[in-house]
């Protein structure tokens, strides 16, 4: 019997991985490696690199304990190949293997690299996801618009989550309207469970500090779970303490409160330490036991079996050119504020600041603060995409790109979003307390100290009028704009131009 290599990537840390299931412990060899190409193709946040490498090392140890022959290539071992393919070739020679079993990577770039590898690679479907490519294609076929809501209802029926017979629990599929409460005064949840780094993690932290210390992001105070047992404890901790108010305040933002009642588990699910059904089952059970309200359980389950599966479906349906799309033709460089440059905008300082310290920001911070600003300011979506891919611990292209290129930047021309997610400062003021401590005034539409979001919002609407004026969901805003005094419109546009010129000149905004 010939030995085969079984490739396990850094986001495939699941015992039941399809490639492992297809392999034979008695004759096949598992290959895992911290390759330089993957660690460096965008300037990943040091906490993200530390999380992935530490979780990989611990998963390799678990596989060994379960009887697998694991060949693990460390980044600080000179013999380790620089790319996944180079490492496979090296290990193939070492053990006399000429073929590879792998689970389909979540990124076109890697799928293409494996296809181009001189060793034949058999790709197994990644069935840790709940919706296969074939099922998503069948759902999408013949539909004019691929809207989340209809996909989500199908997923509720398929999974049986929050169902009472054929009907949704509580008589409603979606409780989103209950989940938009603004920032509360105090947060009564102590946040995600924190884990002191063990010996494996400490060794990784030293290496990451040494090699990636100059990347944007703080490595100090590393607290993430790095194995399945810890991730399960983190999940239980959040279900008990965070879930009950998760729904109500899902969209709220509070100065200094980095996590509010959010799960902060996406990095664990995306790396494979937790399964999507497992996290949803825990949440559903809490609701059935009366430990959490339905709007919280439904809100969470919709994100996981709805949004998470839906964006993956879109990523693979749309193909490898998706990340290069730029439907609105936006070309500005990403301003330095995204890399921690000085700013008077409190909302941006908060969202970027906690991204720097935690490699985390919650959905509304990503969508309505940093995403909104980039879209309003006309930033090149490819640069926005690279930023999000680099700075968040949960960022892998299959999930990050549809959220950024599609949902946040409208660069796919409206496949995911039926209208662009743009807002003036008003929305941020309603959902947060940021504006209170800002150098700008959210109530000022023009003049000294006017909130840049207020100015840029109308500039965006005006410059993309041809595309959006016919969109019924935007008609009201164009009517408001058209009713404004012509002089006032001119002042807004010219002040917005000044803000953009300051961004272009690298000045503080």
Ligand X SMILES: Cc1cc2nc3c(=O)[nH]c(=O)nc-3n(C[C@H](O)[C@H](O)[C@H](O)COP(=O)(O)OP(=O)(O)OC[C@H]3O[C@@H](n4cnc5c(N)ncnc54)[C@H](O)[C@@H]3O)c2cc1C
Binding region for ligand X (CB under 6 A): 262-266, 269-270, 300, 303-304, 307-308, 311, 362-363, 366-367, 371, 388, 392, 394-395, 399-400, 403-404, 407-408
Taking the complex as a whole, the smallest distance from the CB of residue 346 to ligand SF4 amounts, in Å, to 4
Dig out the tokens for 398 from the structure: 């299959």
Query: What is residue 214's DSSP assignment?
Result: T
Applying CB under 6 A, the span of 14-22, 52-60, 400-408, 428-436 interacting with ligand SF4 comes to: 428-436
Query: What is residue 254's DSSP assignment?
Result: B
Q: Which residue, 337 or 390, is less far from ligand SF4 as judged by CB?
A: 337
Applying CB under 6 A, the span of 24-32, 108-116, 204-212, 429-437 interacting with ligand SF4 comes to: 429-437
* Site map 437..476 versus ligand SF4, x via CB under 6 A: -x-x-x--------xxx-----------------------
Taking the complex as a whole, the smallest distance from the CB of residue 27 to ligand X amounts, in Å, to 36
What does the chain come to in residues?
509
Taking the complex as a whole, the smallest distance from the CB of residue 180 to ligand SF4 amounts, in Å, to 17
CA separation for the pair 460, 467 (Å, rounded): 11
Partner whose footprint covers residue 152, from ligand SF4, ligand X, none (CB < 5 to 8 Å by kind)? none
Rule CB under 6 A: is residue 435 a binding residue for ligand SF4? yes
Taking the complex as a whole, the smallest distance from the CB of residue 423 to ligand SF4 amounts, in Å, to 9
Partner whose footprint covers residue 351, from ligand X, ligand SF4, none (CB < 5 to 8 Å by kind)? none
CA separation for the pair 151, 415 (Å, rounded): 14
Taking the complex as a whole, the smallest distance from the CB of residue 384 to ligand SF4 amounts, in Å, to 18
Partner whose footprint covers residue 266, from ligand X, ligand SF4, none (CB < 5 to 8 Å by kind)? ligand X
CA separation for the pair 220, 426 (Å, rounded): 35
Applying CB under 6 A, the span of 41-49, 50-58, 342-350, 377-385 interacting with ligand SF4 comes to: 342-350
CA separation for the pair 202, 188 (Å, rounded): 31
- Among residues 338, 418, 406, 332, the alpha carbon closest in space to that of 376 is found at 332
Applying CB under 6 A, the span of 207-215, 340-348, 455-463, 471-479 interacting with ligand SF4 comes to: 340-348
CA separation for the pair 453, 406 (Å, rounded): 21
Enumerate the β-bridge partners of residue 473: none
Q: b/e string for 116-140 if b means 16 or more Cβ within 10 A? A: ebebebebbebebbbbeeebbeebe
Dig out the tokens for 475 from the structure: 């008609």
Kindly report the number of other CB atoms within 10 A of residue 203's CB atom: 16
CA separation for the pair 409, 417 (Å, rounded): 9
Q: Which residue, 34 or 251, is less far from ligand X as judged by CB?
A: 251
Partner whose footprint covers residue 173, from ligand SF4, ligand X, none (CB < 5 to 8 Å by kind)? none
Region of residue 217 (left: phi > 0; alpha: psi -120 to 50; beta: else) = left
Rule CB under 6 A: is residue 366 a binding residue for ligand SF4? no
Applying CB under 6 A, the span of 56-64, 222-230, 432-440, 460-468 interacting with ligand SF4 comes to: 432-440
Strands of the sheet with 5-7, listed across from one edge: 69-73, 29-33, 5-7, 100-103, 121-124
Taking the complex as a whole, the smallest distance from the CB of residue 351 to ligand SF4 amounts, in Å, to 10
Residue ranges in contact with ligand SF4 by CB under 6 A: 345-347, 425, 428-429, 434-435, 438, 440, 442, 451-453
């Amino acid at each position: 019997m010939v030995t085969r290599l079984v490739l396990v990537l850094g986001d495939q840390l699941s015992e039941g991985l399809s490639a492992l299931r297809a392999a034979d412990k008695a004759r096949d060899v598992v290959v895992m490696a911290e390759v330089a190409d993957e660690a460096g193709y965008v300037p990943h946040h040091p906490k993200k690199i530390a999380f992935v490498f530490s979780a990989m090392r611990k998963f390799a140890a678990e596989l060994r304990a379960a009887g697998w022959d694991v060949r693990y290539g460390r980044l600080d071992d000179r013999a380790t190949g620089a790319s996944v393919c180079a490492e496979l070739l090296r290990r193939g020679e070492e053990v006399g293997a000429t073929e590879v079993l792998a689970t389909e990577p979540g990124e076109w770039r890697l799928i293409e690299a494996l296809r181009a590898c001189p060793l034949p690679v058999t790709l197994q479907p990644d069935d840790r996801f709940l919706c296969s490519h074939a099922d998503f294609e069948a759902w999408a076929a013949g539909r004019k618009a691929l809207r989340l809501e209809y996909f989500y209802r199908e997923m509720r029926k398929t999974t049986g989550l929050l169902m009472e017979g054929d009907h949704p629990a509580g008589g409603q599929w979606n409780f989103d309207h209950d989940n938009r409460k603004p920032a509360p005064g105090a947060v009564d949840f102590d946040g995600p469970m924190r884990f002191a780094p063990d010996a494996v993690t400490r060794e990784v932290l030293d290496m990451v500090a040494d090699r990636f210390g100059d990347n944007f992001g703080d490595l100090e105070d590393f607290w993430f779970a790095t194995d399945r047992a810890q991730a399960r404890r983190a999940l239980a901790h959040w279900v008990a303490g965070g879930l009950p108010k998760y729904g109500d305040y899902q969209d709220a933002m509070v100065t200094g409160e980095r996590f509010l009642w959010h799960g902060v588990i996406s990095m664990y699910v995306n790396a494979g330490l937790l399964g999507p059904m497992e996290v949803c089952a825990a949440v559903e059970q809490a609701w059935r036991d009366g430990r959490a309200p339905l709007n919280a359980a439904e809100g969470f389950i919709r994100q996981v079996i709805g949004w998470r599966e839906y964006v993956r479906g879109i990523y693979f349906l749309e193909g490898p050119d998706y990340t290069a799309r730029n439907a609105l033709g936006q070309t500005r460089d990403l301003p330095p504020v995204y890399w921690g440059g000085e700013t008077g905008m409190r909302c941006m300082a908060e969202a970027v600041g906690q991204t720097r310290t935690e490699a985390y920001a919650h959905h509304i911070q990503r969508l309505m603060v940093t995403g909104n600003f980039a879209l309003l300011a006309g930033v090149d979506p490819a640069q926005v995409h690279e930023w999000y891919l680099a700075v968040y611990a949960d960022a892998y292209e299959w999930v990050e790109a549809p959220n950024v290129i599609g949902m946040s930047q409208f660069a796919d021309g409206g496949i995911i979003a039926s209208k662009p997610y743009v807002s003036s400062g008003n929305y941020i003021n309603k959902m947060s307390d940021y504006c209170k401590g800002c150098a700008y005034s959210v109530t000022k539409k023009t003049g000294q100290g006017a909130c840049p979001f207020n100015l840029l919002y109308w500039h965006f609407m005006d410059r993309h009028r041809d595309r959006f004026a016919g969109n019924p969901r935007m008609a009201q805003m164009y009517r408001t704009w058209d009713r404004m005094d012509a002089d006032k419109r001119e002042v807004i546009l010219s002040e917005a131009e000044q803000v953009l010129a300051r961004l272009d000149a690298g000045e503080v905004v």
